[in-house]
Structure 1
Amino acid sequence: MTSLDGATSDHPAVAVSSVNHAAVGVRLSDRRPFDEGAVHYVVEAWAPGLAARVDEVVAWVWDADLADFLAGLAADYRAWEGERTWQTYDGDLAVSAVSRSGGRIGLTWTLRPWPDAAGGWTVSVTTWLEAGAQMASLAADVRHFLASKQPG
């Protein structure tokens, strides 16, 4: 399930929880402009016994867009073979997708802050969504979140 969690014009956010286990999820929030070519945002992931947060995910306007990746998955709602992947330019957020019969898409969200730093860490959680409408809703919510104007 996806939602524009806490969505106000001042503080948009997107929450994604798994259709088969609501205690597993991801949240994009606290989007703020960095410069004309990028925005920063926070990504949180959770599962039973796990809570992780990356404060400085960067979306570059010239980079491959997460919303476009998700929209492509929604458009191709029939099951496909293999895995499809997307990641930020800096590699601090990656999303891989697998399609299963029965109309479900598994999105594995991998947080990897400071991927080149010694002692860095990596966390992954997988959310399962219904192909088609739920994926299209997530893509639209992420597009709105990344494009939102911030006050100020």
Structure 2
Amino acid sequence: MPSPNDDADDKPSVTIRCQDNASVGVAFSDRFSFDSDSVHYAVELRAPGLTARVNEVVAWVWDSDLAPFLEELAADYRGWDGERNWQTNDRDLAVSAVFRSGGHIGLTWTLRPWPKAAGGWSASVTTWLEAGEQMASLATDIRHFLAEERR
């Protein structure tokens, strides 16, 4: 379930927890920007026995960012066939989505920093959310998180 977090230092963040297993989740935090063309942020994946973090994922204003992708998934709450995919321009964060019966969406979040470097690594977790309200809430939270620095 998505939830915006307000830490004691008031830095915006978003945490997504799997409704099937709350110990599996994704956290967006530490957002900053150098200019009006991009926003940088950290993404951390968590699951039993796994913690993986990329400190500087970049969203460029000219790219199709994550919020519209999540909004499209929320709008299609009745379901779809196959898998839908999104990734950052640098390919260090990727999300794939599948719909399962009962109105749930599985989001597989993959971190792959330095994808072209030898000896690189990748890690993935899958969070399951309700197709309607939880997906819409996540899309809104991510839109707010990514847009904050661009104002």
Partner residue of 2:147? 147
In 1, Cα distance between equivalents of 2:49 and 2:138: 25
SS state at 2:125 partner: strand
Q: Tell me whether 1:95 sits opposite 2:95 in the alignment.
A: yes
Output the TM-score relative to the length of structure 1.
Answer: 0.95
Go from structure 1 to structure 2 and tell me whether the alpha carbon gap of 1:134 and 1:8 turns closer, same or farther (over 3 Å shift). Answer: farther
Identity among equivalent positions (%) equals: 67
Tell me the CA shift for residue 6 of structure 1.
2.2
In 2, Cα distance between equivalents of 1:144 and 1:10: 14
The aligned length equals: 150
SS state at 1:119 partner: coil
In 2, Cα distance between equivalents of 1:119 and 1:104: 35
- Equivalent position amino acid for 1:86 in 2: W
- Equivalent position amino acid for 1:12 in 2: P
- The answer to whether the 8 Å contact 2:39/2:149 transfers is no
Q: Which moved more, 1:96-105 or 1:10-19?
A: 10-19
In 1, Cα distance between equivalents of 2:143 and 2:64: 12
1:4-83 → structure 2 map (5 Å cutoff): 4-6=4-6, 10-83=10-83
Tell me the CA shift for residue 34 of structure 1.
2.5
- Equivalent position amino acid for 2:18 in 1: S
Deviations 1:118-141 (A, max 9, x none): 110000000000001000000000
In 2, Cα distance between equivalents of 1:58 and 1:100: 30
RMSD: 1.5
Output the TM-score relative to the length of structure 2.
Answer: 0.96
Q: Tell me whether 1:110 sits opposite 2:126 in the alignment.
A: no
In 2, Cα distance between equivalents of 1:131 and 1:7: 28
Q: Tell me whether 1:137 sits opposite 2:137 in the alignment.
A: yes
Tell me the CA shift for residue 35 of structure 1.
1.9
- Equivalent position amino acid for 2:131 in 1: A
Question: Runs of 5+ in structure 2 lacking a partner?
Answer: none
Tell me the CA shift for residue 9 of structure 1.
9.2
Go from structure 1 to structure 2 and tell me whether the alpha carbon gap of 1:62 and 1:8 turns closer, same or farther (over 3 Å shift). Answer: farther
Question: Runs of 5+ in structure 1 lacking a partner?
Answer: none
